[in-house]
Chain A
Amino acid sequence: MSGLAGDLMRRVGFYALAAWAALTLNFFLPRLMPGDPASAIFAKFQGTLDPSALDAMRTAFGVSDAPLWSQYATYLGNTARGELGTSLVYFPAPVSEVIGTGLLWTVFLAGLSLVLAFLVGSVLGALAAWRRGGVLDRIAPPLLALIGAFPYFWLAMVAVWGLGFQLGWFPVRHAYDVNLSPAWSLEFAGSLLRHAVLPAGTMVVASLGGWLLTMRNTMVGVLDTDAIGYARARGLPPSRIFWHYAVRNAMLPSLTSFGMAIGFVLSGALLTEIVFGYPGQGYLLLQAVRGQDYPLLQGLFLTISLAVLVANFGVDILTLLLDPRTRR
């Protein structure tokens, strides 16, 4: 058991340090940028914003005479209490509140498409490797690589234009019908799903190829191992060999690369949200960029980073639990 416990502790330690790195980066970035952007922005907004908003910015950027370490301590304390400053675009709403409105939407949309794409892609990849040189193996990888070569958001644009405006099959804006208010009703759930089809669909289609190839290549390696030959010689039926001897062993490396790719796929998901006006973190990011809302921008960076760390931690733990070799 000490093997597993030790591995767990190491993971916890790594992610704690990574979270600290994200926090610290977030603190130092505005202070390290060339040309002192904080004062420049500060000067720019002087006169256009009311004094309380300027105060909020002062705190966010540490435009103060306090020594750096005490600013850092204040920053860590504030962050721990969830105080990320005040948004400029949505003034006077606090940043944490603004981010809170979008967090669930992103988790829902990005989480859904990520998991869906991973599962479907992995199964297809496993099948492609199992039937080496078959129809799926010859057609799917190049086709999906071609689709994957388009930027996510560009596919989203084509989907909005073609399936949304031209054909009118699916709604193209927002997460649900704006005439409805969120409720635990069948009608609302239906609206939710219809609005999710296009954004989730584009993300799944765009990222499917990566998972398919990862799984296919691992599977090809696994199918070549002694363990498969030995299982075959013992007369096991092909279905048993496929699931329990091949897929099960190929899944672990695939899961590890899934963890590594969460951050990358999320980046694409954020841009997709923008195209669909989906009210998640990506949409807020766009608003923050357009309105030069630096406190919101930094709050988003922090939240998204921490969310990705949590997701990665989850995947790591899952990998540990699924692999009997980590147990003693």
Chain B
Amino acid sequence: MSGPVLDVRSLQVSYGTTPALKGVSLHVAPGEVVGLVGESGSGKSTLVQGALRLLGRPAVVTGGEVLLDGVDVLGLDGAGLRDVWWERVSLVPQNALNALNPMLTIGAHFDDTLAAHGVTDPQERRRRAEEGMALVELAPETLESHPHMLSGGMRQRVGIALALVLDPKLVIFDEPTTALDVVVERDILDRIQELQRERGFAALFITHDISLLLTFADRVAVMWKGELVETSPAAALGGPNSHPYTKALLAALPPAPGADPVSAGSEGGAAAEPAALRPLLEVRNLSVQFGRGGLFGGTVVRAVRDVSFDLHRGEVLALIGESGSGKSTIGRVVARLQQAHAGTMRLDGESLPITRNTHAKRGLRARVQMVFQDPYASLNPVHTILHHLERPLRIYGHEGPDVRQTAADLLEKVGLSPGEAFLDRKPHALSGGQRQRVAIARALAPKPSLLVADEPTASLDVSVRKEVLLLLRTLQQEQGLGVVLITHDLAAASWVADRLVVLHTGQVMEQGPVASVVHEPQHPYTQLLLAAAAHTPGPLPDWTAEPLAPGVSTP
């Protein structure tokens, strides 16, 4: 048996004087698939790019050894590295749109790569480029296209073909599907798996999504804060000897659809009361268009088509769909940030206009509040936390000198304690989870009856997601709010929501109580989504019982 293709021995990397990688060892055997998992900032990209010496300033390798197919990478100069790169190891980028040169055709990318590695005959280069296209099931004419003309899925395929064009022994996949929709993601992953089996290259697969690796990798390495905390066979992951962080990662995964949702019963909320027979929010035949047909043939995108649904008081309604399904657009229309072009909405029986409303207005405006996806973007970096809470309080009629106290109370309510301590800080001094709590507190300030939460956990680290969803659910039950939860995560939605609305290309595919949609999906698209989400193998720890493992939970 020959040695490993990649052998990293206690590699240390610093950014300037800040250590980012604290002595990491990892090896990949020929033909082996190794998964590398960790949250953003855990050092997984630093490990790979540092080992290959692709990191730019101010990164420095401060110790360790890297053997690539027997070659000492840390001992090479620029010219030596150029020979090793791509011939022995290649990369599939996270987002090929950014990685490909917009000015060059796909063919030119192949041509440049092959020419750089000694293929002097242009016809030979062309032949091998066409072979590469065939490998990823793309037509040879694709070589004549520029990157912007291809779809996201096609571009990732190009990235894979380019990575295989010199037949390297090791291919590194750097989150190759995170920028893609679930269904396309499935296709690409299947193709990668087939190719790996056919051609037998070793693969190092980087991802933040541990569930992806469980079916795919031979071994999984888990990184946390610049260290490799665990390496074990995929099947043994999460066993009794697992590192607490690995357990936390697994526990933070929503259960596979079909597990008992926490809120299946009708306890909490006012769903049983007769007054609630009238829905809190009625949406009827809503349609939204983007763009307009101009003199020179502009295109119109019908983002939302004829969508209707009801939301009852004290209920969580999840709008489920991939990007482009129109779910966020619907949320923005309800929050009156976006104009619809047809349809009606009623809030608690009162007509809610479908026009964009940028004017401060009491009443209806106060009653619909919104929590945005990214708390780094939804809080204004120049203002204090107090400003963010004080403004809606004042605008919606809070009077008197105790506005500071009220703001602090709001913070306590969302779990930031003591609230007073946060008021004079600016957003950048808070962690992602804390910011999202502030954003939720701000949305609660006007005492709304309806909360629109647009992917409130998508930009948070996995370990914080569950806490934030739990908080939303708790607040919703305490205050009898109606919540429209917008998400692409079917598993999370079926855990937290009472009812689901499945959207695709702006249309409702199916809607109903969580249990019936998940257990007896009627529409083929729902079945597809369920299948795509079902690659989380059981048995997983019962994550509904306890929050994260102590000592690991993020502040």
Contact = CB atoms under 8 A, between A and B. Distances in A.
Asked if A and B touch directly (CB within 8 angstroms), the answer is yes
B83 A230 contact: no
B438 interface: no
B112 A324 contact: no
A234 B91 CA distance: 8
B296 A235 contact: no
B101 to A, nearest CB: 5
A10 B83 contact: no
A314 interface: no
A236 B112 contact: yes
B102 A324 contact: yes
Interface string B87-130: 10011010100111111110000001100110000000000000
Contacts of B85: 232-235
Contact of A230 (B56, B81, B99): B99
A27 to B, nearest CB: 28
B82 interface: yes
Contacts of B86: 233-235
A interface: dominant SS: helix
A234 B116 contact: yes
A2 B104 contact: no
Given A2-B297, A10-B296, A231 B101 contact: yes
Contact of A233 (B52, B100, B105, B148): B52
A325 B148 CA distance: 6
B146 interface: yes
B113 A249 contact: no
A240 to B, nearest CB: 6
Nearest to B112: A236
Nearest to B104: A244
Contact of B296 (A2, A225, A236, A328): A2
Given A240-B112, A244-B101, A324-B102, A234 B296 contact: no
A72 interface: no
Contact of B103 (A6, A9, A234, A324): A324
Contact of B82 (A2, A227, A237, A245): A237
Interface string A310-328: 0000000000000111011
Contact of B101 (A224, A227, A238): A227
B330 interface: no
Classify chain A's interface size.
Answer: 20 to 34
Contacts of B98: 225-227
A151 interface: no
Contacts of A245: 101
B253 interface: no
A327 B104 contact: no
B113 A248 contact: no
A49 interface: no
A5 interface: yes
Contacts of A226: 93, 95, 98-99
A237 B114 CA distance: 12
B99 A325 contact: no
Contacts of A291: none
B148 A229 contact: no
Contacts of B162: 234
B76 to A, nearest CB: 12
A229 B54 CA distance: 7
Contacts of B95: 226
A197 B555 CA distance: 68
Contact of B149 (A2, A237, A328): A328
A71 to B, nearest CB: 33
Nearest to B162: A234
Contacts of B297: 2, 6
Interface string A212-244: 000000000000111101111111111010001
Contacts of B90: 233-234
Interface residues of B, number: 33
Given A230-B99, A235-B83, A235-B117, A325 B91 contact: no
Contacts of A6: 296-297
A248 B103 contact: yes
A237 B116 contact: yes
Given A9-B296, A328-B149, A249 B112 contact: no
A244 to B, nearest CB: 7
B296 A230 contact: no
Nearest to B57: A132
A249 B101 contact: yes
Contact of B113 (A10, A225, A235, A325): A235
A325 B102 contact: yes
Q: Which interface residue of B52, B78, B101, B148 has the most chain A CB atoms within 10 A?
A: B101
A248 B146 CA distance: 15
A213 B46 CA distance: 32
A232 B90 CA distance: 11
A76 B239 CA distance: 86
Nearest to B85: A235
B357 to A, nearest CB: 32
A319 to B, nearest CB: 12
A328 B149 CA distance: 7
Q: Which interface residue of A235, A237, A245 has the most chain B CB atoms within 10 A?
A: A235
B12 to A, nearest CB: 21
A249 B84 CA distance: 27
B91 A249 contact: no
A230 B82 contact: no
B409 to A, nearest CB: 45
Given A235-B83, A325-B148, A249 B54 contact: no
A249 B102 CA distance: 8
Contacts of A324: 102-103, 105, 146, 148
Interface string B394-407: 00000000000000
B301 to A, nearest CB: 16
A233 B166 CA distance: 13
B173 to A, nearest CB: 13
Interface in A274-328: 323-325, 327-328
B172 to A, nearest CB: 9
A294 B81 CA distance: 69
Contacts of B84: 235
Interface string B126-168: 0000000000000000000010110000000000001000000
A325 B116 CA distance: 26
Contacts of B83: 235
B57 to A, nearest CB: 8
Nearest to A237: B116
Q: Which interface residue of A6, A232, A238 has the most chain B CB atoms within 10 A?
A: A232
B91 A230 contact: yes
Nearest to B87: A235
B49 to A, nearest CB: 8
B116 to A, nearest CB: 5
Q: Which 3 A-B pairs have the closest CB atoms?
A: A6-B296, A230-B99, A226-B98
Interface of A: 2, 5-6, 9-10, 224-227, 229-238, 240, 244-245, 248-249, 323-325, 327-328
15 contacts: A6-B297, A227-B98, A227-B100, A227-B101, A227-B102, A231-B101, A231-B112, A235-B82, A235-B117, A237-B82, A237-B116, A240-B116, A248-B101, A324-B146, A325-B102
Interface of B: 52, 54, 56, 78, 81-87, 90-91, 93, 95, 98-105, 112-113, 116-117, 146, 148-149, 162, 296-297
Given A244-B101, A248-B103, 7 more contacts: A227-B98, A227-B101, A229-B99, A233-B52, A235-B81, A238-B78, A324-B146
